Amino acid sequence: MQWEHMNHLSGKFIVFDGGEGAGKSTQANLLKDTLEKDGLNVLLVRDPGTTRIGELIRGILLNPDHMEMGMRCEMLLYMAARAQMMTQIILPALDKGTVVISDRFVSSTLAYQAGGEGMTSADIISVGQIAVHNRWPDLTIILDMDTESARVKPKFTLFPNDPDAGVEKDRIEQRSLEYHKQVRQNYLRQAKDHPARYRVIGADREKAVVHAEILEALKSLR
């Protein structure tokens, strides 16, 4: 990789997405470190979350106590957290030429909530247009792996210093294997339908190998 070629990523919006346990956070952090070493300003965010309001919404969404939540409510809460993050953090950063890397984004909602309560992808995208100010990611990297092989570890906690943190699966993690298999297919369908804005990268390999393939994919981003 020739690092001088990475300056073209200034002001770009890059998303890592995929099923549970695919290594999104690991690869997002690796990319941040690599680009910062190259002299770029980088902002790493997580979706939902990052802002004060977004983190409060995240707690509601992932809390296993809220199992009665309907899919439409779930979708709108994700979009609300996203709208706050776009206004407060992402859009100002992009305007300054910062590379923004997001751990999940609207692509997650299209994978996890599409079909629920009769919602279509078009329904979700129409709400997403409002939430993201029509500023969609320049590239969404789908980290793909077999659902049964995913490294899913419980991660839910309401409080960062809770001694029981990580012992209980969050509300989404607790859903059935069949549900998560459908989520994977929904991700792959997005990439197939929008090949210019998505890349699918096999995640069931050494993290350095996956990282190298991600850097190669970013070379062509203009």
Q: Do 140 and 198 touch, CB atoms closer than 8 A?
A: yes
Q: Which pTM does this prediction carry?
A: 0.88
11: three-class secondary structure by DSSP: coil
pLDDT band at 2 (very low <50, low <70, confident <90, very high): very low
| Parallel, antiparallel or unpaired: strands 42-46 and 139-144 | unpaired
Across all residues in the chain, what is the average pLDDT? Answer: 89
pLDDT of residue 175: 72
Q: How many residues does the chain have?
A: 222
Q: Distances from the Cα of 107 to the Cαs of 30, 60, 67, 103, 165, in angstroms?
A: 21, 20, 22, 11, 27
Q: Distances from the Cα of 100 to the Cαs of 6, 138, 204, in angstroms?
A: 14, 10, 25
Which residues are registered as beta bridge partners of 144? 202
pLDDT of residue 180: 86
101: three-class secondary structure by DSSP: strand
Q: All domains of the chain, ordered by start, with CATH? A: 8-219 (3.40.50.300)
Q: Do 37 and 31 touch, CB atoms closer than 8 A?
A: no
Give the pLDDT mean for 47-74. 93
